[in-house]
Structure 1
Amino acid sequence: MDRGTQHTTTALIDAVRERTHAARVAEAAAFVAVGDWAAAHTSDEVVGDPITVLGEWHYERDAEALAGDQFLELGGPGAPVVAEFCIGEVAAARGCSFDAARRLVGDAVELRYRLPRVHARIAAGEVDVWRGRRIAQTTRTLTFEGAGFVDRHVAYVAHKATGPEVDRLVAEAAARFDPETTEAERAEADGGRHLTIELGDVAYADPLSGTLRGTVDIHGTLDLADALDLERTVAHVARQLTDLGCDQDLDVRRSIALGEIARRCDGIATLEYDAASGPAGDETRPVQRARREVVLFVHLDHAAITGALNGFGPGIDACTGTTGIDLARLDTPGAPRGAVTVEQVQAWCAAPDTTVVVKPVIDLNEPDAVNSYTPPDRIADHVKARWPRCVFPYCTRSSRTADLDHCRAYDDNGPPGQTSTKNLFPLCRRHHRMKTHRELRTGRRWTYRPTHPDNGEPPNALIWTSPHGQTYLVDRDGTRPWPPPRPAPDPGPDET
């Protein structure tokens, strides 16, 4: 690529960034205007008053009022009710349906009155409107205090928080500020577990001819710990089938593995294939194994272990000052990250014939290094705990399954300690390839480096540079363009 062509392509991508920023600012201004319009059509009543019911009319006592304008509950508890007819004006102004406008106004009310910190960042053009609305849609069922908890914890990263991260925070807020409902919902979910094997619906390859394909569908809902046990065992047997010469693709091998488990497990002993002998019935060797192996990376508050929360007494939540559910932070390979109740962890570990593997506490502030190219488990665990996601810009894949990349390339003749917690970073396989191999058109590749706080850059972060020279800053909270876009200058009063 010659220099003139490179200049043209750089100008094009710069135009994309500038117009995207301008569109974000304009959309934010329109969204704030919708909230201002709704605020001008509210009542002194708020959601949660005795005479209001979510989604129903405000003045149920007055039959004549049912034919006119009504006040609707569009936000969560503590937000004011909004006049119905004002939503029609918004729908006409935006050229959308009434239902779409109602959802928009509801999100604006939720953010304005229950998530003010996130709302302020949207108004400043720092957070995309769609991100703010996504947060608002998850908090509407929370108590007023619970919504405030989410607002305080997500506002500063609202511009880069992923959907699952917000969902986990909302679930934690529900457990902290409405523990009775949370526990009741968990108990109800336990009652909804099932496993269905559709033996009555055998699939046919050709329904017209009646040719039997001989497959059935299986579906169900499992406890998380049971699902992890099943996934681990199915994956283990599927790998054994590969070693034994099965050349089917992975999905087929996993389905075969489930049948092998059913035929060869008696509930206590697991029969493993002897790869040297083959899969015949007499050539397997029984291996006594625990039915469940629990390897938990659980970040548990010290107060939950000791039973006293910051001096508030046993079982008293320091955030709410009331009796609540102790929470543990789950960070287990193959499982979703987030908060779970201590009671749930206790139930998993208390199952019969369970082997519990306790991982040592990792001090993330203490560096570690070795002289070999391949890092030992202690360094790998340290790096993945420090960086919970792939560190490529905007990637959300878990670091638990990522490769560990040497930021500064490993040199066989270089100094000792090159494989260290300061030089290793997790990259998922796709982004590891993008960092390693050059782009065809530009002949360049993605590069990254740690930030230099002495030069005014944020600490504990990485700066990536794309093949076209665009730069992004990545930290534990996510990604943002770097350097940050400068706000548009204030044109000042019009001169006449």
Structure 2
Amino acid sequence: MDRGTHTTATALIDAVRERTAAARAAEAAAFVAVGDWAAAHTSDEVVGDPITTLGEWDSEALAGDQFLELGGPGAPVVAEFCISEIAAARGCSFDAARRLVGDAVELRYRLPLIHARIAAGEVDVWRGRRIAQATRTLTFEAAGFVDRHVAYVAAKATGPEVDRLAAEAAARFDPETTEAERHAADGDRYLSIELGEVGYADPLTGTLRGTVNVHGSLDLADALDLERTVAHVARQLGDLGCDPNLDIRRSMALGEIARRCEGVATLEYDVEQPPTRARREVVLFVHLDQAAITGTLNGIGPRIDACTGMTGIDLARLDTPGAPRGAVTVEQVQSWCGSTDTTVIVKPIVDLNRDDAVNGCAPPDRIADHVRARWPRCVFPYCTRSSRSADLDHCERYDENGRPGQTSTRNLFPLCRRHHRMKTHREMATGKRWVYRPTDPTQNEPPHAVIWTSPMGLRYLVDPDGTRPWPPPGPTPDPNRA
């Protein structure tokens, strides 16, 4: 790519960025205006008051305008007819306008910190609406908890992260309902093997495909056991030269597992000597402080949850390989680990304030665990893949003849396989690759972050909370000028 072509390409990228920023600002202004319109058509009553219950209205009231519960508990009710004005102005259906107004009310009255960032153009409207939809069923206090913890990273938080925090808030502020829902969900578990519906590859020719669909809903611990076993057998099949397609090998693995276990699992067995079962292995990365271990604060009084004001410990932090990250109830962990055929491995949390290094190229487990605990996701801009399954990349290329200690917690960063390959091998038409480096706090850069530079020269700052664009480096000062 010659210099002129490169300049044109840069101008095109700049135009995309400028117009995107203008569109975001306009969308934010329109969203705030929708909230203002809804605020002008509210009642003194709020969601949760008995008077707003639809069943208590008489037929005469229902014939005219009525107030709808569009936000969560504590938000004001909104006049139904005002939504039609929004639908007409937006050129959308009433249902779409109703959802929009509901999200605006939720953010305005129950998530004010996030709403302020949307109004300032710092958070995309779609991100704010995604958060509002996750908090709609929470109590007023729980929604405030999510607002305080998400507001500063609302521009970078992913949907699953928001869902996990909303679930944690529900468990903290309404533990009885959370535990009841967990037990109720046990009745939703099922496994269906649709033997009566054999698939066809082509419905026109009727070619028999000879496959059936399998689907179900499992307890998380059971699902982890199944995933680990399927992945292990699929790898064995690959080592034996089976089909290179991983999806096909995983489907074959279930059949292999069934044949290996045939005759072992049966309802007719000696109670005194039941058949041998494979032991379940539960690996827990423990995130506990001294107060959580002892149940007291400074060994004096009972531990009080600073968020809820309640005593006791209701939640456990789950950070297990292959499992979704987040909080679960202590009762659920107890149900996983209480069985006599379960092996529990507890790993202490790594002290992220200390560094470690070795001389070899491959990092030992203690360093790998440290790096993945510090960086929960791939460090490529906007990537959300978990670091648990990512490669560990030497930011400064490893040199067999170089200095000792190159494999360190400061020089290793998780990159998913796609971005690791792109960073290592993908040279663009400009003759440049994606490169990154740790930030330098002495140069007024944020600590504990990396700065990526694209082949086009654009820069992005990535920290454990997410990604944001980063300005280009300033001009180098001329030492000959005073």
TM-score over 0.5 (shorter chain) = yes
Partners of 2:182 and 2:113 in 1: CA distance: 30
Q: Once the two structures are superposed, what CA deviation does each residue of 1:386-423 show, in whole Å capped at 9, x if it has no partner? A: 00000000000000010111111112222111110001
Q: 1:187 to 1:310 in 2, by over 3 A?
A: farther
* Corresponding residue of 2:344: 356
Structure 2 counterparts to residues 190-229 of structure 1, below 5 A: 190-203=186-199, 213-229=209-225
Partner SS state of residue 132, structure 2: helix
- State yes or no: 1:420 paired with 2:417: no
The answer to whether the 8 A contact 2:449-2:464 is kept is: yes
* Corresponding residue of 1:274: none
The answer to whether the 8 A contact 2:145-2:169 is kept is: yes
Q: 1:219 to 1:372 in 2, by over 3 A?
A: same
Structure 1 vs Structure 2 CA RMSD? 2.4
* Corresponding residue of 1:150: 146
Partners of 2:312 and 2:262 in 1: CA distance: 41
* Corresponding residue of 1:277: none
Letter in 1 for 2:101: V
Letter in 2 for 1:167: D
The answer to whether the 8 A contact 1:304-1:327 is kept is: no
* Corresponding residue of 2:272: none
* Corresponding residue of 1:92: 88
The answer to whether the 8 A contact 1:473-1:480 is kept is: yes
Structure 1 position 289, deviation (Å): 7.8
The answer to whether the 8 A contact 1:387-1:426 is kept is: yes
Partners of 1:266 and 1:352 in 2: CA distance: 23
Q: Once the two structures are superposed, what CA deviation does each residue of 1:23-62 show, in whole Å capped at 9, x if it has no partner? A: 1111111111111111111111111111112xx48x714x
Partners of 1:308 and 1:36 in 2: CA distance: 47
- State yes or no: 1:50 paired with 2:50: yes
| Candidates 242, 245, 248, aligned match of 1:249 | 245
Partner SS state of residue 287, structure 2: strand
The worse-fitting range, judged by mean Cα deviation, of 99-108 and 352-361 is: 352-361
Letter in 1 for 2:402: G
Partner SS state of residue 378, structure 1: helix
* Corresponding residue of 2:35: 35
| Candidates 328, 340, 343, aligned match of 2:331 | 343
The worse-fitting range, judged by mean Cα deviation, of 435-444 and 162-171 is: 435-444
- State yes or no: 1:393 paired with 2:373: no
TM-score norm. by structure 2 comes to 0.90
Partners of 1:424 and 1:290 in 2: CA distance: 36
Gaps in structure 2 of 5+ consecutive residues = 266-275, 473-482
The worse-fitting range, judged by mean Cα deviation, of 9-18 and 149-158 is: 9-18
Partners of 1:210 and 1:32 in 2: CA distance: 55
Partners of 1:16 and 1:312 in 2: CA distance: 60
What fraction of aligned residue pairs are identical, expressed as a percent?
83
Partners of 2:335 and 2:386 in 1: CA distance: 26
* Corresponding residue of 2:121: 125
The answer to whether the 8 A contact 1:312-1:318 is kept is: no
| Candidates 239, 256, 259, aligned match of 1:260 | 256
Structure 1 position 316, deviation (Å): 5.4
* Corresponding residue of 1:491: none
The answer to whether the 8 A contact 1:179-1:325 is kept is: no
| Candidates 425, 435, 438, aligned match of 1:450 | 438
Partner SS state of residue 74, structure 1: coil
The answer to whether the 8 A contact 1:446-1:465 is kept is: yes
Q: 1:361 to 1:476 in 2, by over 3 A?
A: same
Q: Once the two structures are superposed, what CA deviation does each residue of 1:272-329 show, in whole Å capped at 9, x if it has no partner? A: xxxxxxxxxxxxxxxx884211122242454443234688966853321236761111
The answer to whether the 8 A contact 1:72-1:82 is kept is: yes
Q: 1:136 to 1:207 in 2, by over 3 A?
A: closer
* Corresponding residue of 2:226: 230
The answer to whether the 8 A contact 2:74-2:140 is kept is: yes
The worse-fitting range, judged by mean Cα deviation, of 352-361 and 148-157 is: 352-361
Q: 1:142 to 1:165 in 2, by over 3 A?
A: same
Q: 1:394 to 1:316 in 2, by over 3 A?
A: same
Q: 1:266 to 1:363 in 2, by over 3 A?
A: farther
Partners of 2:332 and 2:263 in 1: CA distance: 23
The answer to whether the 8 A contact 2:317-2:326 is kept is: yes
Partner SS state of residue 440, structure 1: coil
Partners of 2:105 and 2:312 in 1: CA distance: 29
Partners of 2:39 and 2:163 in 1: CA distance: 27
Partners of 2:346 and 2:378 in 1: CA distance: 25
Letter in 2 for 1:317: D
| Candidates 99, 105, 109, aligned match of 1:103 | 99
Q: 1:248 to 1:475 in 2, by over 3 A?
A: closer
Partners of 1:4 and 1:205 in 2: CA distance: 52
Partners of 1:315 and 1:217 in 2: CA distance: 50
Partners of 1:449 and 1:149 in 2: CA distance: 34
The answer to whether the 8 A contact 2:113-2:151 is kept is: yes
The answer to whether the 8 A contact 2:286-2:346 is kept is: no
What is the aligned residue count?
462
Q: Once the two structures are superposed, what CA deviation does each residue of 1:184-232 show, in whole Å capped at 9, x if it has no partner? A: 1100111211122223334456778987654332221111111111111
* Corresponding residue of 2:478: none
Structure 1 position 363, deviation (Å): 0.7
- State yes or no: 1:21 paired with 2:21: yes
The worse-fitting range, judged by mean Cα deviation, of 10-19 and 309-318 is: 309-318
The worse-fitting range, judged by mean Cα deviation, of 385-394 and 339-348 is: 339-348
The answer to whether the 8 A contact 2:75-2:110 is kept is: yes
Q: 1:317 to 1:132 in 2, by over 3 A?
A: same
Partners of 1:127 and 1:156 in 2: CA distance: 10
Partners of 2:346 and 2:310 in 1: CA distance: 31
The answer to whether the 8 A contact 1:179-1:324 is kept is: no
The answer to whether the 8 A contact 1:390-1:399 is kept is: yes
Partners of 2:205 and 2:119 in 1: CA distance: 63
* Corresponding residue of 2:462: 474
Partners of 2:68 and 2:299 in 1: CA distance: 43
Partner SS state of residue 48, structure 1: coil
TM-score norm. by structure 1 comes to 0.88
Partners of 2:153 and 2:64 in 1: CA distance: 42
Partners of 2:453 and 2:85 in 1: CA distance: 46
Partners of 1:430 and 1:438 in 2: CA distance: 10
Partners of 1:247 and 1:85 in 2: CA distance: 60
Q: 1:209 to 1:449 in 2, by over 3 A?
A: closer
The answer to whether the 8 A contact 1:312-1:321 is kept is: no
Q: 1:324 to 1:215 in 2, by over 3 A?
A: farther
